[in-house]
Amino acid sequence: SAVISQKPSRDICQRGTSLTIQCQVDSQVTMMFWYRQQPGQSLTLIATANQGSEATYESGFVIDKFPISRPNLTFSTLTVSNMSPEDSSIYLCSVEDNGYTFGSGTRLTVV
Amino acid sequence: GIQVEQSPPDLILQEGANSTLRCNFSDSVNNLQWFHQNPWGQLINLFYIPSGTKQNGRLSATTVATERYSLLYISSSQTTDSGVYFCAVEDSGGGADGLTFGKGTHLIIQP
């Protein structure tokens, strides 16, 4: 199955700033998925990123807050914009390759 | 959208005990996976099992798609089995849509 490299693994950020998370896949994939896991909670899908088109966002998530890039079939970024402490979460990317595989996650703390 | 319910929400066992975790889902699925999230937040895929039975060492899983449930069995538990176990499904619509996660079972194995 696909191998995903995600970075950074963790970061502590000041409120009002932005953080960009990167995911690199070792094979070409049509779609990449971004999830959020708030403290003590389950994973929630933020958006689906398809190369060559705008990302599709789930209810409750908007492009201005979570802009996504998908410049090619092996790479995607998620930006968390204008952060507040409520954005403190683990963010994970995922691809479908005979089942879904996940990156190792980015643990974000906003202070 | 599809609903995923996991039980029990919490489980505390002694090392060596066996356990059964359950996942109920509300609609037909293309994909069902069981994951283990370790204390560092990493999500490990245990089984890709939209139907049937699979075994991997001390772990096995069964999905009865017609009755919309899946079971994860852990035998001879070890302290390293501690963590959160998630069931996640992809509904049966066309294409890759991402996964819907249950709330998880938090398992603690005591020495």
Read off the pLDDT of residues A18-39 as tens digits, 9 standing for 90 and up. 999 999 999 999 999 999 999 9
C-beta atoms of A48 and B97 within 8 A? yes
Q: pLDDT digits over A50-99, tens only?
A: 988 889 999 999 999 999 999 999 999 999 999 999 999 999 999 998 89
Cα dihedral across residues B54, B60, B65, B67: positive or negative: positive
- Contact yes or no for B45 and A99 at CB 8 A: yes
Token pair belonging to A37: 């896991």
Q: Where are the beta strands (DSSP E) in B3-104?
A: 4-7, 10-14, 19-25, 29-37, 43-48, 52-56, 59-64, 69-74, 83-91, 100-101
A104 touches chain B (CB under 8 A): yes
Work out the burial of residue B17: count CB atoms within 10 Å of its CB; fewer than 13 is exposed, 13-18 middle, 19 or more buried.
middle
Q: What is the pLDDT of residue B92?
A: 80
B101 neighbourhood in chain A, CB within 8 Å: 42-44
Apex CA A18: angle with CA B98 and CA A59, to 5°? 35
Confidence (pLDDT) at A97: 87
Contact B45 A101 (CB under 8 A): yes
Tokens at A15, concatenated: 């409120």
Those residues of chain B that have pLDDT short of 70 are: 94-95
User: Is A94 close to B98, i.e. CB distance below 8 A?
Assistant: yes
| Contact yes or no for B34/B72 (Cβ under 8 A) | yes
Collapsing DSSP to helix, strand or coil, A94 comes out as strand
If you average pLDDT over every residue of chain A, what do you get? Answer: 96
Task: Spell out which residues of chain A touch residue B104, defining contact as CB-CB under 8 Å.
Answer: 42
- What is the number of CB-based contacts under 8 A between chain A and chain B? 51
Question: Which tens digits make up the pLDDT trace of A39-48?
Answer: 999 999 999 9
For A42, the closest of B45, B97, B103 (CB atoms) is: B103
**Which residues on chain B are in Cβ contact (under 8 Å) with A31?**
96
What per-residue confidence (pLDDT) applies to A53?
Answer: 85
- Return the pLDDT at A98: 85
